[in-house]
Each structure stands twice: as C-alpha cells, then as structure tokens.
Amino acid sequence: MTINLLDAATYFRGLDGQVKAFRWLNSILTEEQKEEFAKQYREDQLSQAKPDINTWNGVLLKAKEAGAKFPEVVAAQWALESSWGKAFSGKWNAFGLKGNGTSAGTKEFINGKWVEITAGFLDFPDLETAIQYLIDRWYKDFETYKGVNRAKNRNECAELLVTEKYATDPGYATKLIQIMDRQIGTTTGVTNKKDPVAAARPFTPKSPFEYKITPNIAYGELCLNQEGRRFTSQHQCETAIELCRFLEKVRTAFGNKPLIITSGHRPPSINKAVGGASGSEHLYNVANEGAVDFYVKGADIYEVQKYCDKNWPYSVGYGAQKGFVHLGIRRTKQRIRWDY
C-alpha cells in the first residue's frame, strides 16, 4: 500500500511510526535532493518576508523597539538560528522557539553528546511577533524568570542565554559573540577586563572547537575535534585563518556544498603515527606554514583540485585520485605542486 507524501506531512502527529518513516526517507535522499526540497519548501514563506525586518538591521531595529537591552544579541540569534533569515524552524520562527506548532527534526546537546530529536516549534503570524515573543519571555523578566536584560554587556547577555538554558549547545554563546564581533566589531569599554565573559574572543589555541574561524569552518574541523590535535601557538591560528579564508572561496565556487576536512593539524607524534613526512606542512611548526586535506561533498574532486591549482598561490598536492586535495602554505610562500 502506498501513501501520498503530502498527506503524510499533513497528518503528521509525531507518532513513533511516522517519525521512523520520515527518518528512513531522510536517510535515502541525496544532499542535492534535500537542498532542492528545502528550497521549494521554504519558497513561499521566505518570499513573503518583509525585507526591512528579515535582515540584520531589520531585526536589530525591531528588537530595540521590543525592549531588548542588547538588540545585537537578538540579531545574532536570528542569524545563527535561521541561517540569516533563510530557514525558519516554524512559521516565522527565526529563533528555534519550541512549543505546539510545526514538528521538525533538530539536534540537542544532551548528556555530553549531540542527539537527533523531533520537536515542536512555535508558529507566528510574522517575524515581528516572533521577535516580541522572544524578548518578552527571555530578555525581560517573565513570571518568576529573570530576563537576560540584566546583563551588563552584550557578551554577558549571550552567556546568560546558555546559563538560563535557552540553548543546550555549550558553544551557543561563543557563536553569538563571533557573529556580533564580525558584524559590528569587538566589544569596547568593558568594565572588568579580567572577565572572560565580557572580553572579546579572538581566535587562539584555547578557543573552543565550536569557534568559527570563518563563517562555515570551525576550529574543531582543523583538529578533527581531537584535543590531541589542538594548536599550541598563536602563529598556527594565524596560518589557519589564511587557509580557511581560501577554503570559503572554494566552498562558494562549488555552490556552497559542505566542505569536509579530512586532515588538518598533526602534532609530531600524530604525524609520525600516520606516516606523515618529517617536514610535513600539517605540522604547523613555524609561522606561515600549515595545511589541510579536504574535499567538497557532492562536487567533482578533480574540478576542485583544478580550481585550487589555478587560484591558490602556494602549495597544492594533487590527491584527487585518492579523494582529496592538499592545500598548504610554507614559510617561504612559494608556489609548489606535487602528485600523491
């Protein structure tokens, strides 16, 4: 017996069998099919968005009018939760606010690990109403809850959202702060410079793995999310920034498909264990030297390699036949090419 998928979606009630069926369907679809589905699914909703509101400045203005002490935090939440106004969890729900409404799959950080769940997300008549709801219940005092407007600065406000369990992601505040720093600069005039919450967060070896070096590449990706691969010197961070900026260009050139790093920083012991060359760029052992091996999911690896060969002025290792491209830089910054 077959079923019309539109009917299945219309009568979805979150029952175990329904969730199981949709998860199975999700598992067999390609990334390209999911992207096309998402595009068409959200087309009408997003085309109706008021351009003066569904933007950074629009959200900033409405958040201020609604009573947010630090409206830039609201704008950062909008950017993070809705992919800059492109993907709402419920109708006009740009903040992942849960409640009776649209059922959708999401990830939560529970007991030290990420798990996939199905949750209900509130629906709103418009984005302005969603902003007001968020601020009335999370930024202002609400019933017995003390709102995050009590913060002394925008960074503390972001931290309080985690403290008050708005989000389960332990890196949520860091992500908001990075967005704000990129949009309007780092904080100034902090009253307590020793306060790690109030301080601006540049990229350092001690940054959390969730720290976004560039909009789509996190620190942890360069370390394969292993503590043993964490950077130990600031010059390594500076080299990583230069590499990641170019990787963003690669990602854009290939339709913003996911870019997967298969090897990044390899400390000497790890480099030796995996059979790396003694002078490998992956060691990041001097200033202006480092490397990543990567591929773009769903893209022709030979075309990615060709793009890097043409546009990256430093080291490129031709590893396409093995499923990756090596992108590196040496202290002398010379152009060099080789085969694997």
Q: What are phi and psi of 229, to 5 degrees?
A: -105, 5
- Centroid of chain to Cα 242: 19
Q: Cα angle at 204 between 201 and 208, to 5 degrees?
A: 75
Q: Please name which of 78, 79, 80, 60 lies closest in space to residue 70, comparing C-alpha atoms.
A: 60
Amino acid at 108: E
Q: What is the mean pLDDT of residues 67-73?
A: 93
**pLDDT tens for each residue of 194-213:** 333 333 357 889 888 888 88
What letter does residue 206 receive in the DSSP assignment? T
Whether 53 and 127 have beta carbons less than 8 Å apart is answered as yes
Most confident of 26-40, 165-179, 268-282: 268-282
Determine which helix (DSSP H) or strand (DSSP E) holds 63, and give its type and residue range.
helix 56-66
In this structure, the number of other CB atoms found within 10 A of the CB of residue 123 comes to: 18
- Residue 318 above 70 pLDDT? yes
Query: What is the pLDDT, as a whole number, of residue 27?
Result: 84
Query: What is the pLDDT, as a whole number, of residue 194?
Result: 39
Query: What is the pLDDT, as a whole number, of residue 51?
Result: 47
**pLDDT tens for each residue of 147-173:** 999 999 999 999 999 888 888 788 888
Query: What is the pLDDT, as a whole number, of residue 188?
Result: 36
How sure is the predictor about 1, in pLDDT bands with cuts at 50, 70 and 90?
low
Q: Burial-class residue 330 by CB neighbours within 10 Å (0-12, 13-18, 19+).
A: middle
Bigger pLDDT: 275 vs 182: 275
Instruction: Name the pTM for this structure.
Output: 0.47
Q: Compute the distance between CA of residue 102 and CA of residue 119 in angstroms, rounded to an integer.
A: 8
Q: Compute the distance between CA of residue 105 and CA of residue 176 in angstroms, rounded to an integer.
A: 22
Q: What are phi and psi of 12, to 5 degrees?
A: -70, 130
**pLDDT tens for each residue of 210-251:** 888 888 898 999 999 999 999 999 999 999 999 999 999 999
Q: In percent, how much of the chain has pLDDT > 90?
A: 52
SS3 at position 142: strand
Q: What is the mean pLDDT of residues 87-107?
A: 90
Write down the number of H helices and E strands in the chain.
12, 9
Residues counted in the chain: 340
Cα-based torsion angle of the residue sequence 172, 173, 174, 180 in order, rounded to the nearest 10 degrees: 110
Whether 266 and 288 have beta carbons less than 8 Å apart is answered as no
SS3 at position 98: strand
Q: In what order do the strands lie in the sheet with 290-296?
A: 259-263, 290-296, 325-329, 315-318, 336-339
Q: Compute the distance between CA of residue 227 and CA of residue 76 in angstroms, rounded to an integer.
A: 28
Handedness of CA 242, 212, 276, 251 (dihedral sign): negative
Amino acid at 234: Q
- Residue 296 above 90 pLDDT? yes
Query: What is the pLDDT, as a whole number, of residue 214?
Result: 87
Domains and CATH numbers, the chain: 45-184 (1.10.530.10), 212-339 (3.30.1380.10)
Average pLDDT, the chain: 85
Bigger pLDDT: 178 vs 310: 310
How sure is the predictor about 43, in pLDDT bands with cuts at 50, 70 and 90?
low
Q: Which residues touch 126 (CB under 8 Å, ≥6 apart)? A: 50, 53, 92
How sure is the predictor about 52, in pLDDT bands with cuts at 50, 70 and 90?
low
